[in-house]
Amino acid sequence: MPQKRRSHTWTELKQAGNEFFKSGQYGEAACLYTQAIQLLEKSGKKNQEDLGVLYSNRAASYLKDGNCAGCVKDCTASLDLVHFSIKPILRRATAYEALERYRLAYVDYKTALQIDCNIPAAHDGTNRMTKVLTEQDGAAWREKLPPIPTVPLDVRERLVQTAMSTPTAQQNGTSQRERPGDGAMKQALSLKEEGNALVKKGEHKKAIEKYTQSLKLNPKQVPTYTNRALCYLSLKMYKEAVQDCVEALQLDSTNVKALYRRALAYKQLKDYKACVEDLNILLKIEPKNTAAQKLQLEVQKMK
């Protein structure tokens, strides 16, 4: 008789996930963390800390793989289990920044600094978000921020002590030393921001160059595709705009900017059917999107 195959424990799956993560195989790591999460949840053990670590680890894998929306979701799940845990806060901040949700990124970076004021990534992130939000919202940018949670003193002390005593193998990610690939991701974000600055000056061709360089370093940045699509629209390069929106929607099928900008491109290409289809999808996601409603009325008159 063939021997019965031994089932892996959730701890073994987590460790295997960590090994894949360290070797840069982030998709495989995420799959193993998913199996570990399912196994631990089915076991009925209410070990919130272990489950929180697994969600945080999977979030790190998603972040490395460019799945920023998945990262945000998992970090939030982790923080629901273990409040004010530093790694998911920082990972979520990074994901929010990549998604251009700068106010939420600022809140997370500032929260991280309440827990430990000596985190360089949190200081750098806060400074970047302050600059971006000042440009975006003007001098009163702080008034538009969501509330920044206050971290209780006892929680701060406990979390700092835990961080100091926890072996680095416990979690898979954000150590003080950068892992291979981190530099490329930061450079990609920096190039994207340079592109955004050029767009504000109306220099769309130069912005396209920056976005293209950024996407070579990290081809899974949805905002970079939608931003470059905007530049292509401005330069009347409608087929290129459509292609960038297609790329963005393959990564995030509900991205409103990609749907709207592709609809604009389809309108200019006189593909009114495709234009209306995109607008219908968009309005199911955001029924009160006035720009989409207006464009829909315009296109219906042309058909």
Indicate the number of domains in the chain: 3
Residues 187 and 298 in one domain: yes
Residue 168 lies in a domain: no
3-class secondary structure, 48: helix
End-to-end CA distance of the chain: 69
**Residue 180 CB burial class (10 angstroms; 0-12, 13-18, ≥19):** exposed
Which pLDDT value is given to residue 177? 39
Residue with tokens 């089915």: 42
Which pLDDT value is given to residue 37? 94
Residues 194 and 272 in one domain: yes
Which pLDDT value is given to residue 167? 44
Residues 212 and 106 in one domain: no
Question: pLDDT tens digit string along 212-271?
Answer: 999 998 888 889 999 999 999 999 999 999 999 999 998 888 889 999 999 999 999 999
Give the structural domain span for 109.
Answer: 85-161
**Residue 213 CB burial class (10 angstroms; 0-12, 13-18, ≥19):** middle
Half-sphere exposure of 74 (CA within 13 A, CB side): 27
Residue 192 lies in a domain: yes
CATH number for position 294: 1.25.40.10
Residues 77 and 104 in one domain: no
Residues 188 and 276 in one domain: yes
Residues 59 and 124 in one domain: no
Which pLDDT value is given to residue 218? 86
**pLDDT beneath 50, residues of the chain:** 1, 4, 166-170, 173-180
Residues 69 and 149 in one domain: no
Residues 6 or more apart in contact with residue 138 via CB below 8 angstroms: none
Residues 288 and 189 in one domain: yes
Residues 206 and 292 in one domain: yes
Residue 172 lies in a domain: no
Residues 28 and 42 in one domain: yes
Task: Decide: pTM greater than 0.75.
Answer: no
Residues 96 and 78 in one domain: no
Which pLDDT value is given to residue 6? 57
Locate 275 and state its tokens.
Answer: 């234009």
